[in-house]
Structure 1
Amino acid sequence: MDVTQEAMKYLRMGLSVIPLYEGSKMAAVDWKQFQQRKPCMAEVVNWYAANPNWGVGIVCGSVSGGLVVRDFDDTKLYDTWLRAYTGPRLPTVQTSRGYHVYFRTKQPVRLQKCDGGEIRGEGSYVVAPPSVHQDGGYYQWHIPLVDLPVLSVDQCRSIITLSSFIHPITPNTHITPIIQLDPPPGSPILRAILDCVPTGPGQRNQCLWRLAGKLKAIEQTAELGSDQLKHLLEIWYEKAEPFIRTKGFQKSFEDFAEQWEYRRVPEGVSLLQRCMERAMLSPPPKRSDGTGKEVQLLAGICRELQKANPEQPFFLSQEALEKITGISQSGVSRKLKILCSLRILSKVSEHDHARRRCASYRYVAPLDE
């Protein structure tokens, strides 16, 4: 199957496509622009003329006509859902572990985790046939891509039967839930709420701080604003009220909103680890083009560290970087020097052995590139 022809077919169906490295899910180009526009045919031809073994990705969201993909990581879960599903026939790709179910919506939907997989919408893409798996197999159509039905909100609900929320994105990118349900029993959200209920007086602020950290660690709630979490705070307050007594709901919600703003790192996750996760989901800084994947990863981590506190330099431990990236400390040292030479980083202070203080840096390239 010719990848160029398949990519052109997707393009003709109104889908934004991007090239992927052979046997990888990683985009081979800066794909951010293709969330806003589709590539032209000449771009697609040039990509694969120079690299015929590259794979193809399809960008989800409004650029592809409201494309949403339900990612089932578990084949048994997919089979269970399919037996109960009564809507229109939906194009489906067989992946290495499960299935991707394609459909369109009129209401934009954001990327989010859900039980048994993910909902891929705005700001995400999927690997499409005939791309090669990392294990050597091929992505292939299980149900052919002939048409892409546009589903209603109720039909969307049936597609994500085990998910708690669909979060649409309005034109100004403010995210609000269009489907909001109480967290189901045993869900991570409900467990977070129950884990943070006070057991006695004087624990309210501490419990609110912990609740903010736990919700920051859950994909479905991590990027929401505090106003969008008000329903969850109502559930928490109902259970916490016997121990709070003197503080009403509004005061507790205002205090939670303040802590939600200041709590940048999820509970149980280091800032460095969180920054690496964000770096891996974002295009690498443009100034790091051509430096290699490891240098680009470190550049992305440093960019996220600076974003966490734009006004101050950040400390960087080579030992900690080795643990989370697998790059040796000597390798980290060399690559940080490369980033400084490219004027991506500026070293502010040296490592202080006597005071056990790491070297500090500033990210001096544009944070939004």
Structure 2
Amino acid sequence: MLPLLDHALDYLSHGYSVIPCNPKTKKPFVKWKPYQTRLPTEGEVCEWWRQWPNAAIGVVTGKVSRLVVLDADVDKHGANVWLLYQCAPTERIVKTGGGYHLWLRYPEGADFVPTLAGVMEKELGPGLDVRGDGGYVIAPPSLHPSGVLYAWVQEGEATALPPAILESLLEQHRHSPQPVTARVDQDDTQTLSDDEQWLTRSLGGVASGSRNQTLTRLAGYLAGKGLPFDVTERLVEVWDDRNDPPLRAEDEAGFRRTLRSVYEREAAKKAAADHAPGGALDFTLIPLDEFMCEYGDSRVQWIVQEWLPWATTGLIISPPAHYKTWFLLDLAVSIASGRPFLGQFPVEKPGPVILFQQEDAFQGLAGRIGLIAGNRLMEGQEVPDDDPLSFSLYIPEAIPVHIHRERVLRFGDRWSMEKLREFVEQIRPRLVILDPLYSATTTEDFMASAAGNMMVLKHLRDLYHTSFLVAHHTRKGAVHDTGREGAWGSQFLNAWLETGWQIRSAEDAAPGEIILRRHFKITGAAETVNVRFDIDSEEQHSYHVHVSAARKDGDKPQDTTDEAILMAIAEAPLSQGRIAEMVGLDKSNVSRRLKRLVEQRRVELAERGLYRAASDLPD
């Protein structure tokens, strides 16, 4: 299933009537009038998103979905979101491309809630539209035409539309009974877009208190459509003649100055978009109440609890040959499949993963992924006897891991950053992994410019709520150093990371054992853990990870495997395979240990390839 289809089906399962919409125009791809009175079937929804896999998710408002939405346009009309929230408190709020949607429950006993534009201006100020019967809204995580994703600010319960607001809407509807709609064809009508509604209201002329604001928006609208300055100038003069009184009659110099200022601003925005890595970057300010509405929720969301926060940027820092790639591949398989990370830690927000592995050979990479996925997904199952693939490459189900092959991702390269943005927008991954850092940035001057170039990842994180995890090497000699300062070039990178995993060797470590420390800017340090990988990629094709609390300083690892082997052969000689079964390890691991025990004269190889304890040797 495609991610957007998953979300559409989830909305449907909660009783919302969903329709597919063009993400560029926000207009439905289908005739949607029937879905104002009935829910679509699951089959209809699946067929729509197979036909338009990137379609925005439209949710039909009104009685059919038991939903009313207050649409507050902040950017263009300066809607007062905080005042609106005080009048209609709800725990279900969406950040749109230019404002907020407050989702409210359709009032019990009501037969009709109108869809209206420009409502309750005296009570709540400008910029408020209402989507009730005959309307629809675009729902998260759809893409707004501006390139920003619709996103939940709060995803709790919707409260009922307050009676006072309902009465005000019905009163306004009685005085203006025809909703603002446009004929699409004989069988269908569609609520006009925000721009079309505003133009319809404004082109006939506005009152004196709205002339400057309307002039600014109208000029910006026309400039954004690419009209030359002189054409726009003439059009807004015609519009101004319909005002009572015309703005030029009172301040013609100010009229011309506003027009020129708007065109200069649009030109500057276009220039910024042309030079921004990975797409246009805004340079904006937002009021405190809007900022708190969007970012004031202090609750921490996790993709994997205590391991990977939602929408974070982080580094996994490790010396060579310390399992960092195994960690990252396990994380990719776990998030994509929804199986527990390291076989133990539940994935709270599964989803697609994009993997940039720009160092290792792809054949070895495929073997590692196959070993992890085969063991994780086939746990407790038998591999089909007629399967042509080896067990290490047997993956029983398709999981959404997407792998880059060309090894051309570079932070300083505008083309590759734009391609990265396109992939993130298209796939909407829960996590993007890059291994290793040096392959995507310059190593000159101890990576002094790397952190600055990597700010594009924070920009993409803010736009698409994707997490980014980058593998990085420690500086030389930092094998046992568990501090973040051990990362090579870390003086330039520590400030960039929000999530850090530091991997180091444990002194007197058992085979496959490392120490891992985790640090998060949002919660501080987590418990340090010992992790032991038990991997056999040759004979048993087994993959197991054991995680335990870190030993205190001075403690030595409690490796009882040798004792378990000696106990297994205490009664009678056994084969290597039988010993492996009894102690729960792969044969290659047991083989290495038996060889060492033989050298220590604690075990001897007897007849027929059997092993017995030294105490069983004849005198």
Instruction: Compute the TM-score of the two structures, normalised by the length of structure 2.
Output: 0.26
Highest CA radius of gyration, 1 or 2? 2
TM-score when scaled to structure 1?
0.43
* More RCO (CA 8 Å, sep 6+): 1
